[in-house]
Amino acid sequence: MNELAILSKAMIAERKDILLSILGGFIAGAAGVALFSASGYLISQTVFMPPLYTLIVLTALVKLLGLLRAASRYGERLYSHRATFSMLSRLRTGFFARLIPLTPGILNKNRSGDLLARIVGDVESLQNYFLRVAYPPVIVITVFLATMVFSASYSFWMACLFITGMLLTALVVPGIVLLGQRSIHGRVRKQRALLSTEVTEVLYGFRDLKVYGQLPQREQQLQAASAALTAEQQRAAGHLLRGQAMHTFVTFFISWGVLTLGAYLIMEGALAGVFLAMLVMASQTVFEEAAAMATLPAYKQDSEHAAKRLTETVMPAGDLPVQPGRTLAAGDAVSVELSGVTFQYIDEWRPALTEVSLQLPAGSRTAVVGPSGSGKSTLIDLLLKLRTPVSGDILLNGVSVQELDETGIWEASNVVLQQSHFFRGTVRDNLLLNGEEQSDEVLLEALAKAQLQDVALTDVVFEKGENLSDGEKQRLALARVMLRKGRLWLLDEPTSSLDYVTEERVLTHLYEQSAGDTLLLICHRLTGLEGMDRIIVMEQGRVIETGSYAELMEQKGYLYRMKQIELQMIGEL
Ligand SMILES: Nc1ncnc2c1ncn2[C@@H]1O[C@H](COP(=O)(O)OP(=O)(O)OP(=O)(O)O)[C@@H](O)[C@H]1O
């Protein structure tokens, strides 16, 4: 199966630990069979009162086998779990590495709750693949073969019975379990994703649901999803238990068979009676090893399903784009050039940007204005390499962003997006998102520049900044950006919720700090644009006007008309 390629790759990477765990598992299994066989033989021998040295040798052998079994089992567990956890960490980081280039577009395809279920639950499920799917058959077959050769040296028919037992426990029982298994685990997984989606929807939309009187209904939906998941889990657990019970039944059946056949062979004179207990004990132990086979189909289906969900979330293994090697030189102001850039969101019927060409020289200040939905924010996403244009090229300092390492772009940029995210913690934690050490004086100065003089660094910030007003959030985001050292400023309506006076004060500090740097400011209000080197007017994804404020006013085009309307609204005309 194609999806399992990622698992096989991860297993190959851990081949040394895997081989050691297989060796440990085989020795432990074989030593277990030998231990119990030797015990059976020892008990039978005592009846014939053998010489003392025979009993001493046998007892010592039993003890040695016990020690060998414990030590090799320990080694097996150690190496198999080490391999499993290394694989898990490899899979998790691999999944994240594939997921990151897809953000933020990934939420077009997946709902956040479902994505969370995939990131946590599905990746976790893959850890069972090696331990419970790939590994047990290898151990079962090798230990069985060794036991079969051993039993064949006593009786051909006994070996045949062992083979029948092996076929029943390793193939027939798992096959029957698999038949009933097909849909069960898929349903559990789907139901878990559904519940996770419901939970996140209720958490994110709690306030609106309450105001619109929809909360009780959504709570009911949530409870129904939770009950459905419990029912599916119960059904899956029941099925697994039935498989295990069937395995135990077959094991006892075979042991009784060994006893009966052994008794018959003794009566026929084909087997010495002293070996009967040994063969019965051997049969009981060897089938213990095969117990994992009963649950194998369940885990196999589970892993396949999880791998399928993960590969449909991100691109298939092997298609991971190679990170380009070039980095944006730190310390220089950045020049930006867009040539014929067209971009269309997945499943959208029209492009968000069409044939956009721009040049922002290093150290210049540019404002982008235009009606809502004209593609201004998309422009910033493209510059940050969060999205890839359908056609055209974007150059930063003359190098195509496709050739630039994205983390280098992010480090060189001071970004305020339309919606900034705040994490649960203190104001200090939210200012120092990149983990850099900064003195309290520097942090307080940034807060003061952002007009947050009254805020203390130890003030608590709730998740998503719930305890901050929109204006406070914007000012905190501006304080955060003023602590950065990049030389490309990308600001998307950073002051839209501020009053005119505060806005002017903040922008004065911002312009002071960004002097000599390249600045791209998206704004709706047309005040203060006189100080910009260039203004770009966008409409329906196209650049319709570009020039200095004075030039555009003289042209009496779109910006001029917008300015007249704004002046009328604030009563200056
Ligand atoms: N994640 C998305 N998926 C699909 N379409 C999107 C997405 N984000 C934006 N769009 C569409 O792309 C177009 C440009 O959006 P964009 O956010 O860039 O406009 P904008 O000029 O910044 O608007 P505003 O001033 O309201 O922020 C719009 O038609 C919008 O509907």
Q: Could you give the percent of the chain with pLDDT greater than 90?
A: 38
Write out residues with Cβ below 6 Å of ligand 1: 108, 345, 348, 352, 370, 372-378, 418
DSSP state, 540?
T
pLDDT over threshold 70, residue 305: yes
Distance 212 CA to ligand 1 centre (A): 26
Q: Please report the pLDDT score of residue 340 as a whole number.
A: 94
Would the pLDDT of 104 be above 70?
Answer: no
Q: In this structure, which residue's CA is closest to atom 18 in ligand 1?
A: 375
R_g (Cα) of the chain, nearest Å = 35
pLDDT in tens, 109-153: 666 667 776 777 777 777 778 888 888 888 888 988 888 888 888
Question: 374: how many CB neighbours lie within 10 A of its CB?
Answer: 21
| Residue 288: strand, helix, or coil | helix
pLDDT, tens digit (0-9, with 9 covering 90-100), for 437-486: 889 999 999 999 999 999 999 999 998 888 999 999 999 999 999 999 89
Question: Looking at the domain 336-423+482-569, which fold is it?
Answer: Rossmann fold (3.40.50)
Query: pLDDT value at position 526?
Result: 83
Quote ipTM for the complex. Answer: 0.95
CA distance 430 to 482: 13
Residue nearest to atom 7 of ligand 1 (CA): 345
Indicate if the pLDDT at residue 183 is higher than 80: no
**Tokens representing residue 64 in the block:** 């040695």
Mean pLDDT over 187-208 rounds to: 84
pLDDT at 112: 66
pLDDT of residue 317: 46
Q: Same CATH topology for 92-313 and 336-423+482-569?
A: no
**pLDDT value at residue 201:** 85
Q: Whose CA is nearest to atom 30 of ligand 1?
A: 373
Percent of the chain at pLDDT > 70 equals 93
The alpha carbon of 324 and the centre of ligand 1 are apart by a number of angstroms equal to 28
pLDDT at residue number 46: 86
Q: What is the pLDDT of residue 541?
A: 94
Confidence check: pLDDT of 102 > 70: no
Q: How far does the centroid of ligand 1 lie from the alpha carbon of residue 352, in Å?
A: 7
Average pLDDT estimate for 301-305: 78
| pLDDT value at 184 more than 80 | no
**Rounded mean pLDDT of 491-506?**
91
d(CA 24, CA 135): 12
Residue 381 CA: nearest ligand 1 atom is 18
| Angle made by CA atoms 54, 59, 61, in degrees to the nearest 5 | 95
Residue whose CA is at the smallest distance from ligand 1 atom 24: 372
Ligand 1 atom nearest residue 104's Cα: 1
Substitution candidate for ligand 1 out of 107, 343, 377 with most atoms within 8 A of CB: 377
Give 227's pLDDT tier (boundaries 50, 70, 90): very high
Cis peptide before 316 (omega within 30 of 0): no
Question: By alpha-carbon position, which residue is closest to atom 5 of ligand 1?
Answer: 345
Q: Whole-angstrom Cα distance, residue 270 to residue 261?
A: 11
**Could you identify the atom of ligand 1 that is nearest to the CA of residue 374?**
21
Closest CA to 298 of 137, 385, 180, 475: 180
Residue nearest to atom 12 of ligand 1 (CA): 352
Q: 293, 174 in Cβ contact below 8 A? A: yes
CA distance 240 to 238: 5
What distance in angstroms lies between residue 22's CA and the mean position of ligand 1's atoms?
55
Give the whole-angstrom CA distance, residue 243 versus residue 296: 10
Contact between residue 312 and residue 106 where contact means Cβ atoms under 8 Å apart: no
Q: What is the band of 203 on the pLDDT scale with cuts at 50, 70, 90? A: confident
Q: What confidence category does residue 379 fall into, taking pLDDT thresholds of 50, 70 and 90?
A: very high
Strand partners, 400: 395
| Residue 540 CA to ligand 1 centre (angstroms) | 10
Please, what is the end-to-end C-alpha distance for the chain in angstroms? 71
On the question of pLDDT at 101 being above 90, the answer is: no
Residue owning the nearest CA to atom 31 of ligand 1: 373
The whole-number pLDDT of residue 318 equals: 47
Ligand 1 centroid distance, CA of 343 (Å):
11
Mean pLDDT over 385-406 rounds to: 90
Q: Which of 103, 106, 112, 345 to mutate to test the pocket of ligand 1 (most atoms within 8 A of CB)?
A: 345
Q: Is the pLDDT of residue 269 over 90?
A: no
Residue whose CA is at the smallest distance from ligand 1 atom 17: 377
Residue 293's pLDDT is what? Answer: 82
Instruction: Tell me the CA–centroid distance for residue 379 and ligand 1, in Å.
Output: 10
Query: pLDDT-based confidence at 70, cuts 50/70/90?
Result: very high
Ordered by start, the domain boundaries in the chain are 92-313, 336-423+482-569
- Please tell me the residue having the least CA distance from ligand 1 atom 4: 345
Instruction: Please give the distance, rounded to the nearest whole angstrom, from the Cα atom of residue 500 to the centre of ligand 1.
Output: 26
**What is the C-alpha to C-alpha distance for residues 216 and 213, in angstroms, rounded to an integer?**
7
The topology under which CATH files domain 92-313 is: ABC transporter transmembrane region fold (1.20.1560)
Residue 3 has pLDDT above 70, yes or no: no
> Residue 517 — very low, low, confident or very high, per pLDDT cuts 50/70/90?
very high
Closest ligand 1 atom to Cα of 538: 21
325-366: per-residue pLDDT in tens?
Answer: 777 777 788 999 999 999 998 778 889 999 999 999 999 999
Q: Which of 342, 356, 374, 543 to mutate to test the pocket of ligand 1 (most atoms within 8 A of CB)?
A: 374
Position in ligand 1 atom list of the atom nearest CA 370: 21
Q: Which of 61-65, 122-126, 264-268 has the lowest mean pLDDT?
A: 122-126
How confident is the model at residue 369, as a pLDDT?
Answer: 93
**Residue ID of nearest Cα to ligand 1 atom 20:** 373
Mean pLDDT, rounded, for 249-260: 90
